[in-house]
């Protein structure tokens, strides 16, 4: 391991601290390498030299892809060497192959010169904000780890529990999501976000995993009166995030076949409204539902 204070060997144990949290303060240049990769051996001394020369303007994080295959797979590493520049929890640029020093320097300068001075650096993101960023990037496991660590440090934090519960639903871990709901205080359970989580779980419970959205859409297209297909399709559309289409599907079902599933369309619509929370679209949709009911 290098003696330089600007070079760090990264494993899954310190990945979060060095790359996720560390990049909120200082850009992190992540070098994915392997012993058998000759271009990696060519690039390594160039990166190490620049890390020392730039004196902390960035941190060089080295990841041995043979030893840390899980990290490499999660980040979609397909070739070596691959180098990613991460700032404030997000990948801002990357390159593959052993570039000459001049090109690596130009790569760094393009981003580091634009970085805000130290006294103007934004505050570090909260665990919830960081987890949201990671989820948007597709790093569900890392987002989950951030929130579980935050929950361990502050078990009474309802906002963290709700955020973790919503992430568990997205990952299909419904029992864990219910556990997050169960530990909420009476005050936290009344929050809009907790209602959104309850709505998501209700929809997940009602989802028919034995069929897919395309098959249901095809069945409904062939028979517009197929209430079962419309009901199941609306649920899948909502879980996929296409709530406008889901609401339209279920409103049409409710208007056409109010009795289906013991008023299933209406109760599912209420779950979607809970899931949407304070979304401004909820009011008009509620009024439309009321008009259909009366």
Strands 82-87 and 90-96 turn out to be antiparallel
From the candidates 37, 61, 177, 253, which is the catalytic residue?
37
Indicate if 180 belongs to the active site: no
Structure tokens at 3: 């003696």
On whether the CB atoms of residues 112 and 54 are closer than 8 A, the answer is yes
Indicate if 168 belongs to the active site: no
In DSSP terms, which residues pair with 91 in a beta bridge?
86
Q: How far is CA 109 from the centre of its chain?
A: 29
Strand ranges in 88-214 using DSSP code E only, listed in sequence order: 90-96
| Alpha-carbon gap, residue 279 to 196, rounded angstroms | 11
From the candidates 19, 24, 29, 40, which is the catalytic residue?
40
Half-sphere exposure of 208 (CA within 13 A, CB side): 13
Q: How far is CA 81 from the centre of its chain?
A: 26
| Alpha-carbon gap, residue 132 to 144, rounded angstroms | 10
Q: How far is CA 40 from the centre of its chain?
A: 30
Catalytic site positions: 37, 40
């Amino acid at each position: 391991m290098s003696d330089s204070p600007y070079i760090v060997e990264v494993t899954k144990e310190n990945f979060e601290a060095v790359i996720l949290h560390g990049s909120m303060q200082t850009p992190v240049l992540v070098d994915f390498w392997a012993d058998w990769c000759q271009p990696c051996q060519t690039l390594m001394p160039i990166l190490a030299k620049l890390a020392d020369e730039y004196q902390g303007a960035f941190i060089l994080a080295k990841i041995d892809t043979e030893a840390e295959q899980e990290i490499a797979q999660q980040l979609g590493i397909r070739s070596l060497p691959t180098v990613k520049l991460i700032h404030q929890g997000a990948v801002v640029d990357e390159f593959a192959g052993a570039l000459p020093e001049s090109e690596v320097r130009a790569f760094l300068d393009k981003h580091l010169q634009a970085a805000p001075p130290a006294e103007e650096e934004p505050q570090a993101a909260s665990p919830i904000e960081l987890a949201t960023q990671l989820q948007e990037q597709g790093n569900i496991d890392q987002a989950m780890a951030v929130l579980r660590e935050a929950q361990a440090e502050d078990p009474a934090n309802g906002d963290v529990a709700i955020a973790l519960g919503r992430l568990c639903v997205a990952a299909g871990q419904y029992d864990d999501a219910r556990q997050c709901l169960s530990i909420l205080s009476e005050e936290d359970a009344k929050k809009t976000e907790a209602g959104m989580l309850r709505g998501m779980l209700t929809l997940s419970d009602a989802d028919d995993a034995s069929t897919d959205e395309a098959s249901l859409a095809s069945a409904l297209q062939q028979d517009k009166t197929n209430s079962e297909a419309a009901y199941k399709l609306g649920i899948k559309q909502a879980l996929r995030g296409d709530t406008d289409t889901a609401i339209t599907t279920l409103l049409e079902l409710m208007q056409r076949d109010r009795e289906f599933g013991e008023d299933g369309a209406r109760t599912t619509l209420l779950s979607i409204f809970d899931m949407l929370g304070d979304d401004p679209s909820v009011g008009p949709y509620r009024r439309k539902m009321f008009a259909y009911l009366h």
